[in-house]
Structure 1
Amino acid sequence: MATFLYKLGRLAFRRRIYVVLMWVAVLALSGVGAASAPTAASSFAIPGTEAQKAFDLIDERFPGSSVDGAVARVVFKAPDGEKMTAPENKAAVEKVVKDLPAGSDQIGQVTDPYTANAVSQDGSTAYVAVSYKVTTLELTDDTRTSLEDIGADARKSGLTVEIGGDALQAIPVAGATESIGVAVAAIVLVITFGSLIAAGLPLITALVGVGISVSVITALAGVMDFDSTTSVLAMMIGLAVGIDYALFIVSRYRAELAEGHEPEDAAGRAAGTAGSAVFFAGLTVVIALVGLAVVNIPMLTKMGLAAAGTVVIAVLVALTLVPAVLGFAGKRVLGRKARKRQEREQAVSSHGKPNMGTRWANFVLRRPAAVVLVGVVGLGVAAVPAASLEMGLPDNGSQPTSTTQRKAYDMLSDAFGPGFNGPLVVVVDVKGDDNAKQTVDQVSGAIKDVKDVVAVTPATFNEAGDTAMITAVPKDRPSSVETEDLVHAVRDAGGEVASQSGVKVLVTGATALNTDFSEKMNDALLPYLAVVVGLAFLLLMLIFRSILVPLKAALGFLLSVLAALGAVVAVFQWGWLSDFFGIEQTGPVMSMVPIFMVGTVFGLAMDYEVFLVTRMREAYVHGEQPKQAIVTGFRHGARVVTAAAVIMMAVFAGFAGSSESMIKLIGFSLAVAVFFDAFVVRMAIVPAVLALLGDKAWRLPRWLDRILPNVDVEGDQLRKKLERESQPPGPDNDSDWNRGMARV
C-alpha cells in the first residue's frame, strides 16, 4: 500500500497541472448537475413497523389522502372575553377557509372548524386544518407565502393567528456559525504550520472536496430521495475529515523536506506514509457510516451512504489533489521560522529542549496507572447522564418559542389539551368481515376504555367500506413517557378485538411512529455496534499487527461515546447550560442522533488512533523499546493530532449553532465526542495503556500473522526499498550482481 501511494503521490506531484484541472472539471460538472437538478421529494419510512404498515394501508385504501403530504393548522384565538363563535370572528375564519384553496393548487383539503368540531369547549380557540397534495419539500415558495399572507390578513381582524404543522418548515441552510468554525480551523492551521501557504492548502483542498460532495448529493437528491439535512451533514463531516486528512499529508511533507528530501520525493514519501494512514482511517469512517444500513431505516441509510461518499472523496482529494497542489507550493510550505521550530522538535538531544508532545508522553509514562484511572473515572462520571437518555422525534413543541409553529402548538395544547398535538390514528382493516361496522364500534369502545385516552372520534370509512380510521387523543403531550406507554396500551386493546373477530387493527400517527422509531433504534444499536466494531477490529489488526491495540481502541471508543451521550443528555434533555448553547426547548434526544453519532464518532476515533499509534508502531518496528516508541510517536505526531482535533471540534461546533434542531444536536455531540476521544482517550489513556502493556501490545500470534496480509501502513517496506535504490551499485548491494553470483 505504502509503495503504491508513494508512486501515486509522485505522479500527482509531477503531473500537477493535469491533476488540478481534473478536479476543477469534476467540481464544475458536479456544480452544473446540482444547478440543473429538480427539487427532491423526500419521504420518511420505517419498514416493518406497525405505524408504517398502517400508513401504507391508508395510502392504499384511502386514495388521494396524501398521507405523506404537508399539513398546516391555522389556529385562531379570540380576544379575552370573546368567543370564536361570535359573528365577526366567525366571518374572519370563514374568509380564511375560502381564501386558502384559491391561494395554491397544491392544497388538497381545507376543513371548516365550525363543521368539523374544531372549536374548543370554552369557545376561545379554533383551527383550520389544511392538507397538501405534496410533501413539505415540494411546496413552492408561492404556496408558503400565500399561507403566511392569509394568516397576516386574518390578524387584522383582531384575532391571534398562528400557523402550525410542517408546511412552513424551513430547509436548513449554512449560517454564520459554520463560517466561524472554518475561520477557527484556519487560525489553528496558521499556528500549527507558521505559514499561510501551508495553512491554506488543507482549507482549499477540503473545500474542493466538500463542494464536489454537496453538489453530487444535490444532483442525486431526486433519484436517491435525499432529504434536506443530508447535504448539511455531508458538509459537516466532509469539512472536518477533509481538513484533517490534508493536514496530515502536508505536515508529513514538511517533515520530509526538513530531513533534506527533494520536493517530489517528499511528496511521494508523505503520500506513502501519512497517506496510508489517511486511507485506512478513511476506510474505518466509511465502514462505520455504511454500516448504518444495518438499522434498516431508509433515511438513516441514505444519510450514511451520502456521508460515506463524502469521506471517500476527501480521501481521494488528500491522496491526489494535495500532492499536486504541493507541487505548486514546493518548499514555500516550509517557512523559515517553521523550519527552525521543526528542526528543534525533530532533533531532541541533551542540549535541546523536548517539545510539548515529548514532555506530555514522559509525564504519562511516569504515572501510567494514575492516568488510566483518572481518565476512565472522569469519562465514567461524564457518562452518568446517559443512563437517563430518552429518545423521540421532534415536533413543533421543540421549536423555539418565537416561531409561529411553536405558538400555534402551545395554543392548541392550552385549548384542547396537551395530547391534542399528537393524536393516535387507529386503522381497522375489516375487509371480508360481514359485521364491519359492529367490529369497528367494538374497537372504538375498547380504545375509549383505555386509561389516559381523553377523546375518540367517530370512525371514518373509505368508499369501499372495508377500512376505517379512528382518532384517539392522548391525555399527555406527544413526547412524554406516558404517551409512549399509551401507544402500547391502545395496541393491546385493539389487538384483543382483532383476535376475536379476525380483523387487523393498526395504530399509527406521528406519536406512534415516534415510538416505533425509537424502539427500532434501540433494537438496532447492539447489532450495529457488533458489525461495525467487528469489521473495524479486523482492519485495525491489519494496520497494527496486534490484537491488544485494536481491543484497546474499541474500548476507548466506548468510553468516549458514552461520555458524549452523557453530555448530550445533560444539555439537550436536562437543560444544563442550555442558554449558553442557544437551546430554547429541551426534551427527548432525537432518536436517530445517538446511533448516527456512534457510527460517526467510531470512525473519527479510529482516525486519531491510526494517525497517532502508527507513528509509535513505526518507531517500535525500527528497534525502539516500547516506552521510547511512545515518546517518539508523540514527539512526531502530538502537535499535528492536537491541531486536527481542535479543527474538527471547531467545524462541528460551528454547525452546533444551526437553527435546525437535528444539525445543532449532531454538531454538538460530535464536537464533544471528539474532545473526549482525542484528548482524554487517545492522548492520555492510550499511551498509558500501551506503557502498561509493554511489548505485549505489539504481539500477534504467528499463525494469525501468516494469515493477515501486510499492508505496511507505517511505510517500513517503502523505506527499505528507497534505501536500496539510493545506494550506488556494487558487489554488496547490486541485486543483479548478487543474483548472478548466487547462480555461480
Structure 2
Amino acid sequence: MASWLYSLGTLAARKRWWFIAAWLAVMVAVGGSVAAFGGTLTNSFTIPGTPAQQVLDRLKTDLPESSGGLGTIVFRTEDGRPFSDHHQAAVEKIAGQLADHAAVKSATDPFELQSALDDAPEQIAVGEAELKQARQQLADGRAALDAAKARLEPARIQLQTARAQAAQLEAAGQPAVAEQLRAQLRPAAAQLAAAEAELARQERKLKDGQAGYDDGVAELASAKTRMQSSEGVRFVSAAGDVAFMQVSFEQSMMEVSKEDRAAVQHIAEDGLVPGLQAEFSKDIVEDISQLFGAAEIIGIAVAAAVLVIMLGTLVAAGLPLLMAVVGVGVGVGGTIALSGVVEMSSISPVLALMLGLAVGIDYSLFIVNRHRTQLLAGMPLAESIGRATGTSGNAVLFAGLTVIIALAALAVPGIPFLTVLGLAGAATVAVAVLVALTLTPALLAVIGSRILSRRAWAKASARAAAAAGDGGASGTAAPKRSWGRAITRHPWLALLVGVALLGAMALPAAELRLGLPDGSSEPADSTAYRAYTQLGENFGEGINGPLIVVADLPAGLDAAGQDSTLLKLSRELRGMEHVTAAIPVGTSEDGTTAALQVVPDGGPAAGSTEELVHALRAEAGALSAAAGVESVAVTGQPAMQIDVSDRLAEAMPVYLAIVIGLSLVLLLLVFRSILVPLLATAGFLLSLGASFGAVVAIYQWGWLAGIFEVHDPGPILSFLPMILIGVLFGLAMDYQMFLVSGMRESYAHGEDARAAVVSGFNHGARVVTAAAVIMVSVFAGFIFSHLTMVRPIGFALALGVLLDAFVVRMTLIPAAMHLFGKAAWWMPKWLDRILPDVDVEGAKLAANAPQAPEPVLAHQ
C-alpha cells in the first residue's frame, strides 16, 4: 500500500494541474447538484415499527383528522393586562385565516373554546332544568292524553252499541228504522272521529317531544363527558393575559414544508394588533437551513492559529485549512444534494461538517508535516511529496478507514435516520482522505519550498553547519526533556492518576437518561423557548407535549353509548399517576375507533412522562376492561420520542461491541501485537466513559450550566452516545496509530523496548498534539452552536478527543507500554505468519528508497 500511495503522490505532484482541475470540477458538480436536487431537512426522528409509530400509521387510516401535525401559537398582551375585545377579535381573525390555508386542517380560537369551557357548568345546569321541565311536560301530556282517551271510551262504546242495534234492525227486516238510527248516529260518529284525530295528533306531538327529550338527554350526557374530561384544561390563562392556539396541519410535522411553516408565522404576525404578541412553538418555527454560525467560525480561527504557530508560515497553515474546506464542500454538499431523495435529519450534514473540518485539517497536516521534515533533511521536492504520501499518507488512509468503518457501522442497528447520519459522516471522511492523498500532494508541488519559512531554512542550515563543524559531536548531546520521558520515569503514578481521573469523571454516566430535544432545549432568546415556557407557566408543562390514546370501541354502540364509554375511559386515564386531563378528540365514522388527548403533568422530556407512557402500555389490558373497550394504545410526539430513545439504548451495546471488535482486529493487523490492541481499547473505553459522565453532569444535571448556557437541563440526546462511540473510536485509533506506530518502528529497528516508547513518542507527539488541539478547537466551536441539538455533541466530541489524546494516548499508553516492556510486542508466531503486513508507517518504502542527499543549507 505504501508503494502504491508513493506512486500516487508522485503522480499528483507531476500532474498537479490535472488533479487541481479535477477537484474544481467535482466541487462545481456538487454545487450544481445542491442547487438542483437539495431537499428539506428535518428535526423529527422516527423509527418504523415502533409501537407509537404503528398506532400513528393506523390513525392515518381510521381517524385521519387526529393524525396530522400539531403546532402551537401563544398569544400574550404586552402590558400583562387581560385581553381586550380588540385583541380577541384579532386572534379570532387569525384563526379563520389560518384555517383557510391549504396546509392547515384547523386552527382553534382559544377565546371561543375557553368561553365554552367556562359556560359549560351553567349551560349544563340550564339544560338539566329544561330537561326536567320537559320531562314534567311529557308526563303531564301523557296523563292528559290518557285522560282524554278514557273520556272518549264510553262514547266509543255507546256508538259501537248503537251501530250494532242498527245492524240487528236491518237484519230483522226493518231497514227504514235502521237507516233512521244510523242518521241519528252520524253527528256523534263525526264528533268522535274528530276527537280521535286530535288524540292522534297529540300523541304524535308527545312522541316528538319524547324524541327531543331523548336527544337532549344524550346531548347533555355528551356535554357532561366533555366537561368532566376537560376539567383542569384551559385555553386562556386564569389571569386572562395569555392564550394559545393549536394549529392542526394536514400532514405530519415532518412532512410540512418550510414554506408552509413560514406562511403560518406570517399570517399570525400580520394579524397582530398593538399590544398583542405572538410566540411560536418549535414545530412551527424550526429552521435548520443554516449549518454554520459564529461559534463554529471561532473554532476554525483557533485551529488556524494553532497551524500558524506550528508551521510558522501562512502558506503552510492555509493548506490544511483549504483541504478541509474542499473536503467539507464536497462531502457536506453531496449530503445536502441527496436530501431531496433521502429523508434526512438536520444533524446529518452538521455531523458531516464537524468531522469534515476536523479530520480534513488533521489528515492534511500529517502529510504536510512529514513533507516539511523531509525537505529540511535535504530530500528533493518531488521525492519528498511522494515519500510523505507513501508514509504519512498510508497512516492517514488507515486512520481514515477506522473512522469510516466506525461511522458506517451506525447502519448495523437498522435505524433509518441513524443509518443516513452515519453514512453521511463516513462519506465526508472518505472525501477528506481522498483530498489529503491527491489534492494535498498536488498543491505541495505548486507551493514548492515556500511550505517552509525562511526562518526554518535558516535554522536547518545553522544546525547542519554546526554538525559539520564539530564532527557530529552535537548529535550526541544529552537527551532533551519530554513528556514521554517524564511519564516513563514514573509509570505507576501516571497510570494511577490517569485512571483515577477518568474513572471519577465517568461516575455520572451511570445516571444517563436518553431523550430527544423539545422546546425547553431551544436558545433562551428564541420564540420557540418563550412559547414553551409561557405554555408551561400558564397551562402546565404537559400541554407542550400531549399524548394520544387510541381506543377500539365495541361494535354497535350508538352515540350515547360511545360517549358513555369514552367518559369511563377518560375517568380511568385521569385516575392514573402523572395525568392532568384526558379529552376525547374524535371518533371514526364507523364508531369503532376513538382518540383521546392525554395531558401529562410533566413536559415531553420529563421522566414522569416517560413513566406514564410505559404505565399506559403496561396497564392497557386493565384500562380496556375497566372502560369497556376492546383495546388501548398510546402514541403522540412524546411517545414516539421515548420509543426512539428506547430503541437506540437497546442498539448501543451491540454497536459498542462491534466497534470494540473492530478495534481489536484492526490494531492487531497494524501493530502485530496482542497487548497493544487491548491497551488501546481499554483506553478508548476510559475516555468514552469520562466523556459520557461529563455530558450527564452538565447537560442532564446542570453542573456549570451558566458557562455552557444550559438553561433547562434534561435527558441527553438519544443518538449522542452512538455518535460519540463511533467518532471517538475512529479518532482515538488515529492518535494510537500515529504515536504507537513510531514506537513500533523504533523497536523494529533494534531499539530497546522501553527506550522505543520514548523515541517513538517524541517522533509523533508534536504533530499529534497540534492535531488534537485543532480537533478539539473545531469540535468546541459547536458547543455554542445556534443549533442547540448540536451543542452536547460538540462538547462530548471536544472533551472526548481532549481526554483521549492527552490523558490516554500521551499518558496512559506510554506508561503501560513502558511497564510491559518487550512483552507489549509479543505475538504468537503462528498468528504472525497468517496476518497480512499492512506496513502503516511505510517502513518497506523507506528501506527500498534511494539514499537521501545531504541536507539543504539554504532556502531554495
Give the TM-score normalised by the residue count of structure 2.
0.79
Q: Residue 781 of structure 2 aligns to a residue in which SS? A: helix
Unaligned 5+ runs, structure 2: 115-233, 854-860
1:524 matched to which residue of 2?
651
Give the drift of 1:277: 1.0
* Same amino acid, percent of matched pairs: 46
Structure 2 residue identity aligned to 1:520: R
Q: Is the 8 A contact 1:433 1:503 kept in 2?
A: no
For the 8 Å contact 1:292–1:300, the answer to whether it is kept is yes
Structure 1 residue 515 corresponds to structure 2 residue 642? yes
Contact 2:40–2:257, Cα closer than 8 Å, also in 1: no
For residue 640 of structure 2, give the secondary structure of its aligned residue in structure 1.
Answer: helix
- Is the aligned partner of 1:109 residue 2:227? no
For the pair shown, the structure with the greater C-alpha radius of gyration is: 2
The separation in 1 between residues aligned to 2:34 and 2:96, in whole angstroms, is: 39
Partner of 1:361: 484
- The 2-side partners of 1:608 and 1:316 are apart by 19
Residues 514 and 49 of structure 1: is their aligned pair in 2 closer, same or farther, counting only changes over 3 Å? same
Partner residue in 1 for 2:608: 482
Tell me, in whole angstroms, the C-alpha distance in 2 between the residues paired with 1:251 and 1:73.
Answer: 55
Q: Distance in 1 between matches of 2:315 and 2:80?
A: 70
Work out the CA distance in 2 between the residues paired with 1:81 and 1:190: 55
- The Cα of 1:334 is off from its aligned counterpart by 2.7
Letter in 1 for 2:93: K
Tell me the secondary structure at the aligned position of residue 640 of structure 1: helix
1:396 aligned to which of 500, 503, 519: 519
Q: In structure 1, what is the equivalent of residue 57 of structure 2?
A: 56
- Residue range with higher mean Cα deviation, 140-149 or 608-617: 140-149
Paired with 2:557 and 2:716, the residues of 1 have a C-alpha distance of 46
Could you tell me how far apart the structure 2 residues matched to 1:646 and 1:433 are? 71
Between the aligned partners of 2:80 and 2:659, the Cα distance in structure 1 is: 62
Q: 1:135, 1:60 → 2: CA distance? A: 13
Aligned to 1:243: 361
Which of 556, 569, 578 is 2:696 aligned to? 569
Alignment partners' CA distance in 2, 1:490 and 1:198: 62
Matching residue of 2:238: 122
Residue identity opposite 1:92 in structure 2: A
Partner residue of 1:535 out of 662, 666, 669: 662
Q: Which residue of 2 aligns with 1:493?
A: 619
SS of the residue 2:791 aligns to: helix
Shift of 1:444: 3.8
- Give the distance between the partners of 1:348 and 1:567, measured in 2 at CA: 51
The separation in 2 between residues aligned to 1:653 and 1:634, in whole angstroms, is 26
Paired residues of 1:193 and 1:338 also in contact (CA < 8 A): no
Change (3 A) 1:64 1:40: farther
Alpha-carbon distance, 1:410 to partner: 2.1
The match for 1:379 is 502
Counterpart check, 1:167 vs 2:287 = no
Residue of structure 1 in register with 2:46 after alignment: 45
Amino acid at match of 1:4: W
Paired residue type of 1:317? V
Offset at residue 89 of structure 1 (A): 4.2
Q: SS of the counterpart of 2:550?
A: strand
How is 1:601-616 mapped onto 2 (pairs within 5 angstroms)? Answer: 601-616=728-743
Give, as a single letter, the amino acid of the residue that structure 1 aligns with 2:359: V
Instruction: Give 2:338's match in structure 1, choosing from 215, 220, 226.
Output: 220
CA distance in 2, matches of 1:623, 1:433: 89
Higher mean C-alpha deviation, range 305-314 or range 459-468: 459-468
Question: SS in structure 2 opposite 1:695?
Answer: helix
For 1:255-294, list aligned pairs within 5 A: 255-294=373-412
**Native 8 Å contact 1:446 1:494 kept in 2:** no
Q: Is residue 2:275 matched to residue 1:158?
A: yes
What amino acid is aligned across from residue 460 of structure 1 in structure 2?
G
- Determine if contact 1:545/1:698 at 8 Å carries over to the other structure: yes
**Could you say which residue in structure 2 is the equivalent of 1:74?**
73
Structure 1 residue matching 2:281: 3-state secondary structure: strand
Task: Name the counterpart of 1:32.
Answer: 32
Worse overlay, 151-160 or 694-703? 151-160
Cα gap change, 1:703 to 1:725, in 2 (>3 Å): farther
Q: CA deviation at 1:400?
A: 2.8
Distance 1:175 1:342, change over 3 A: farther
Alignment deviations for residues 139-174 of structure 1 (CA, whole Å, 9 cap, x no partner): 666645544444445553534532224111121431
Asked whether the 8 Å contact 2:754–2:822 carries over to 1, the reply is: no
Deviates more, 1:57-66 or 1:507-516: 57-66
Give unmatched runs, 5+ long, in structure 1. 727-744
Counterpart-to-counterpart distance in 2, 1:224 and 1:686 = 42
Cα drift, residue 82 of structure 1: 6.1
Residue 402 of structure 1 and its aligned partner are, at CA, apart by: 2.3
2:584 alignment partner, SS class:
coil
2:88 corresponds, among 87, 90, 99, to: 90
Please name the residue that 2:175 is paired with: none
The Cα offsets for residues 491-539 of structure 1, whole Å up to 9 and x where unpaired, read as 2222335589894432111221222222222221111100111122211
Q: Deviations over 1:33-54 (max 9, x none)?
A: 1112243364531233211212
Are 1:3 and 1:718, in contact at CA under 8 Å, matched by a contact in 2? Answer: yes
- 2:447 paired residue number: 329
8 Å CA contact retained: 2:40, 2:258 = no
**Contact 1:255–1:342 at 8 Å: present in 2 too?**
no
For residues 605 and 567 of structure 1, what CA distance do their matches in structure 2 show?
18
Please say if residues 261 and 284 of structure 2, whose CA atoms lie closer than 8 Å, have aligned partners that are also in contact.
yes
Question: Structure 2: how far apart are the matches of 1:454 and 1:160?
Answer: 28
Note the C-alpha offset of 1:555. Answer: 0.8
In structure 2, the CA distance between the partners of 1:23 and 1:49, relative to structure 1 (3 Å rule), is: same
1:178 counterpart residue number: 296
Displacement, 1:314?
Answer: 0.6
Aligned to 1:8: 8
In structure 2, do the counterparts of structure 1 residues 563 and 223 end up closer, same or farther at CA, with 3 Å as the change threshold? same
How far apart, in 1, do the equivalents of 2:544 and 2:795 lie? 28
Q: Distance in 2 between matches of 1:499 and 1:692?
A: 67
TM-score (norm 1): 0.90
